[in-house]
Amino acid sequence: MAARSSRRRAETTPESPPGVEINGEQRDGAPSGEKGMSGADIQIAICGSAGDGTIAAGDILRNAVAEAGYKVISFDVYPPEIRGFGKCISRLRITTDQAYSLKERSDVLLSLDDSHTIPHVGEVRDFGAVICEAKPVGHLAEGEHLSAHILPGQIPYSLPIRELSEKATGGNRSRNIVALGYVAGLCDLPKAPFLRIIESKFKKQGPKVIANNAAGFGAGYEAGCQTFKLDDVHFAPPARALQPGAKVTILNGNHAVARGCLDARLTTFFGYPITPATTIMERLATELPRHGGRLLQTEDEISAIAAVIGAGYAGSRSATSTSGPGLALMGEMLGLGTIAEVPAVVFVSQRGGPSTGMPTKTEQSDLNAALYGSHGDSQRIVIAPTNVEGCYRCAGKAFEMAERYQTPVIVLLDLYLSNRYETVELSASGPPFELDANVHAKRLKPGEVYQRYVLTDDWVSPRAIPGDPGCMHVITGLEHNALGRPNDSEEMHELMSRKRHEKLQGALRHPDFTHVKRFGDAGKVEVGILAWGSTFGECLEAMIMARAEGIRCSAMKVVMLSPLPEAEIRAFLDDCGAVLVPELNYEGQFAQLVQGRLARPVTRLTRVPGGPMPVAAILAEIRRLAGRC
Amino acid sequence: MLMEKPVYVDEKLREVLSSGRLEYRSKALPTWCPGCGYFAIVEGVTAALNDMKIPMDQAVVLSGIGCSSRFPFFVNTYGFHTLHGRVLPVATGTKVANESLMVIAVGGDGDGFAIGGGHLSHAAKRNVDITYLLFDNGVYGLTKGQTSPLSAQGFKTTTSPYENPDQPLNPLMMMLSYGASWVGQAYAGRPDHLKEMIAQAIAHRGFSYLHILSPCVTFDKTNKTYVNLGMIVRDLPPNHDPTHRMVAMAQAEQADAPALGLFYQESRPTLGDNLNSLIAKAGGDASAKPDRRKGE
């Protein structure tokens, strides 16, 4: 690794300082110098035009390296059109220890379409590899070939991709696979996992397609192995043994949500397609009937949440999924769920807004809509996972909470989390969710009348479900008394408003759930980062870099956004010299929430790039707040 | 359209008390105006449930918002008073969650055909096995007399003080073309026939739509009054063929002379049947209990 400098390693390795935790597991102390040096940390970007197979190549790569034992985090960017000539980029960061976010700069850039790739040459690091077509079809004007744009210090590899594809398969449809084979060969990655993934991916298309793609991959791989390497991009062995019985799988956030739903024994699902939430519904449309459950595509989002409320009333574990525009339509029905005290789970994957906005770009701008988007005092539970494994856990836990506290629960994701892939280690023991968290009504004694909204110590009223003998009652969106009868007296509205508020406070102590979690330095710190949702990964990366620079720094993720764990957040703020709140919306919705509730000053870092928050921007703010710039 | 024999209060009281149907009435007093046609519908529903021996705790009555939608409070079954216009999707969710429940959805003409109009076609084409009782008084009563999509053209209301410029929808034509598998019409002024129609609608397996004409004695003194409706309603012809959709549509088209009775009925798989066969196709177990309750 001649060109590698020690400075670069320090910048790019996700080393874990003491106390840093990942996926809820304490990572063992500081990795020894040896471990740190041996850890792989390579980011590969594949860029092409819609139809080139860019995303497909990325999919094969991430599955193959995961099978080879590496940890992966990857995120694809694609246009809202199916064909046309939109730009597709698949970025994968492949590491020995799970990384928290993508890196700013890639180590390898593979171009399947130079016109789209040229603007991205700058994201390749010094001494990084740029791979492009050596023999383009037809005549290219000056400046249209990628080689004219490669920066000093970047290392070009040109490959006759089309020619190799034609030679190996008799056509040029395997260009993406040939190029992928070249990357694998160049990086000394094992061939077998790729061939296994290719076989399973193309199984449906038949043996001929499998053979063609395998041949294409082989041709590229050979070429890669024979290329003189400058030893710049170096894959360390994957290492790291698993817990006995545990299984590594590669999931994106939406798939993790679907798996969480199934493991929590979801019985009904009602939904309406909307990017970027659709893949939750699609995955469940296949899987739920296999588990004896029922899924229905409704006529709109209003019907979807209405049916979820109707099913929840009948005792079913029911959910829907949507994005911001659908959430807006669901507002009125969520209010009904609140006042009638019906469990419901809504998965909301945010995208750029308002209105149709940027359907294939990420944003965290629906926090206010999730917290307050209804009418009246519509208290509810809102939780937001920060990584793919969190999506799984939050999905399952959402059903527990919806039942236990008899309320709608919103699980807030965003496109970046929904679509990004991470390797997830699933434990060998069964699903970690309670399968019936209801407080059921007891059988009535003769002459006793069932009171649906009876006041109790924890403000949760035992619930009878239609079909339960003798407990006939009516629930309603009108303000009501303990029996559920309409009652709009002053005292009753005060009392029932209080009931609906107080019962949710129990969720702040909901068992086996990470409400908030602090990472990095313990005790007093110069800068504290307070963040929520998918952006937390970038915050952790920035925090690690800041600590490497000698800044005392820690980061707290807030998973439970409503009710807000004020005590824990206040304790954290007490420890921080300055507080930074990075989030992907323009006006700082989470910062407003924290400031409004805790009356503490925080520094906002708001960006709306349509993509993840740049780690460099967070780091720059940390340095500024720590007085190091 | 007078009733066939005179009714004496004491006889009627004895009959009602001995029938057992009061068990299906809740302790809440209806909140409707004296003379409202909806009293007859409560009587019809409780009598039908009683006659059919449907257990109270296996029945769910859901409603939207409006005068009619206070209905669930007045019957002694499980009930859900939901949102304006949304009773059909909520009821669909309830039925999908537990096929064994007997589900009745009720609502008014504004609830069903204005704000909730988008759901009618989908509930009908899915053939979700519920009974939808639509109370049509042609006016928004609970908000004190505004125009509804079933109000007559020229009707003067608080929101159309000169006159209603729109022509009313033809609900029966709509439901027939949407594919409702049971379509009928009844009139609150003919309670015995109404009860009979409610029982038939409940007995039908699939989506049953019963349109119930009912006067609003407070906010409509000119159109759908007892006097006017009494003069124009008629029976379906004795030879009416309820298996023939086009024949039913020809009857439904005569909106000036509303016909009472069963317009159309067909037998086809319900939403529940179709979801079950889908589970079978996927290799799942459709009998998996929706109830996850720990042993009690």
Q: What is the ipTM of this complex?
A: 0.96
Q: Note whether B296 contacts A440, CB cutoff 8 Å.
A: yes
Band (A34; pLDDT cuts 50, 70, 90): very low
Question: If you average pLDDT over residues B275-284, what whole number do you get?
Answer: 96
In angstroms, the separation between the Cα of residue B198 and the nearest Cα of chain A is: 21
Q: For chain B, give every domain's residue range.
A: 9-282
- Residue A25, pLDDT above cutoff 80: no
- Predicted pLDDT of residue A319: 98
- Residue A184, pLDDT above cutoff 90: yes
- Residue A480, pLDDT above cutoff 70: yes
Instruction: Yes or no: say if B257 and B232 are a contact pair by the CB < 8 Å rule.
Output: yes
What are A82-85's contacts with CB under 8 Å, separation 24+?
Answer: A82/A50, A83/A50, A83/A51, A84/A50, A85/A49, A85/A50
Q: Tokens 């939608």, residue? A: B69
- Predicted pLDDT of residue A427: 75
- Residue A288, pLDDT above cutoff 90: yes
Instruction: Yes or no: say if B69 and B26 are a contact pair by the CB < 8 Å rule.
Output: no
- Residue A351, pLDDT above cutoff 70: yes
- Predicted pLDDT of residue A80: 75
Instruction: Average the pLDDT over each of A170-174, A228-232, A490-494, A522-526 and give the range with the smallest value.
Output: A228-232
Closest residue, chain A, to B294 (C-alpha): A436
Q: Note whether B97 contacts A303, CB cutoff 8 Å.
A: no
Closest residue, chain B, to A332 (C-alpha): B83
A293 to chain B: which residues are within 8 Å by CB?
279, 284, 288
Instruction: Yes or no: say if B165 and B111 are a contact pair by the CB < 8 Å rule.
Output: no
A297 to chain B: which residues are within 8 Å by CB?
none
| Residue of A558, A600, A604, A606 whose CA lies nearest to A581 | A604
Chains A, B: CB pairs < 8 Å: 175
In angstroms, the separation between the Cα of residue B125 and the nearest Cα of chain A is: 11
Q: Note whether A470 contacts B72, CB cutoff 8 Å.
A: no
Percent of chain A with pLDDT over 90: 81
Cβ within 8 Å of residue A26, ≥6 positions away = none
Q: Note whether A307 contacts B92, CB cutoff 8 Å.
A: yes
- Residue A563, pLDDT above cutoff 80: yes
B96 to chain A: which residues are within 8 Å by CB?
268, 270, 294, 296, 307, 311, 316
Closest residue, chain B, to A295 (C-alpha): B275
> CA-based angle A574:A576:A581, to the nearest 5?
110
- Residue A533, pLDDT above cutoff 80: yes
Question: What's the CA gap between B86 and B91, in Å, rounded?
Answer: 9
Q: How far from chain centre, in Å, is Cα B47?
A: 15
Type and span of the H or E element at B186:
strand B182-187
Question: What's the CA gap between B63 and A310, in Å, rounded?
Answer: 11
Residue from the list B91, B119, B290 with its beta carbon closest to the beta carbon of A299: B119
Q: Note whether A270 contacts B93, CB cutoff 8 Å.
A: yes
Type and span of the H or E element at A48:
strand A41-49
Closest residue, chain B, to A265 (C-alpha): B292
In angstroms, the separation between the Cα of residue B258 and the nearest Cα of chain A is: 31
Summarize pLDDT for B50-97 with one digit per residue, the tens.
999 999 999 999 999 999 999 999 999 999 999 999 999 999 999 999
B62 to chain A: which residues are within 8 Å by CB?
310
B78 to chain A: which residues are within 8 Å by CB?
466-467, 472-474
Band (A38; pLDDT cuts 50, 70, 90): low
Q: Which CATH architecture does the domain made up of B9-282 adopt?
A: 3-Layer(aba) Sandwich (3.40)
- Predicted pLDDT of residue A209: 93
Closest residue, chain A, to B87 (C-alpha): A306
- Residue A22, pLDDT above cutoff 50: no
- Predicted pLDDT of residue A426: 77
What DSSP string runs through A563-589? S--HHHHHHHHHHEEEEEEEESSSS-H
A314 to chain B: which residues are within 8 Å by CB?
60, 93-94, 97-98, 101, 290
State whether residue A11 is helix, strand or coil.
helix
Band (A232; pLDDT cuts 50, 70, 90): confident
State whether residue B133 is helix, strand or coil.
strand
Mutate to test the interface with B, among A452, A473, A474, A481 (most CBs of B within 10 A): A474
- Residue A264, pLDDT above cutoff 90: yes
Question: What's the CA gap between A412 and A349, in Å, rounded?
Answer: 6
User: Could you tell me how many residues make up chain B?
Assistant: 296
Question: What's the CA gap between A167 and A178, in Å, rounded?
Answer: 11
- CB neighbourhood size of B72 (10 A): 26
pTM of the model: 0.93
B79 to chain A: which residues are within 8 Å by CB?
472-475
Domains, chain A, in order of start with CATH, read 6-226 (3.40.920.10), 248-426 (3.40.50.970), 517-625 (3.40.50.920)
| Residue of A423, A346, A317, A416 whose CA lies nearest to A66 | A423
A471 to chain B: which residues are within 8 Å by CB?
57
Q: Note whether B101 contacts A466, CB cutoff 8 Å.
A: yes
Instruction: Yes or no: say if B142 and B32 are a contact pair by the CB < 8 Å rule.
Output: no
Q: Note whether B89 contacts A306, CB cutoff 8 Å.
A: yes
- Where helices occur in A229-290 by DSSP H, the ranges are 253-263, 278-290
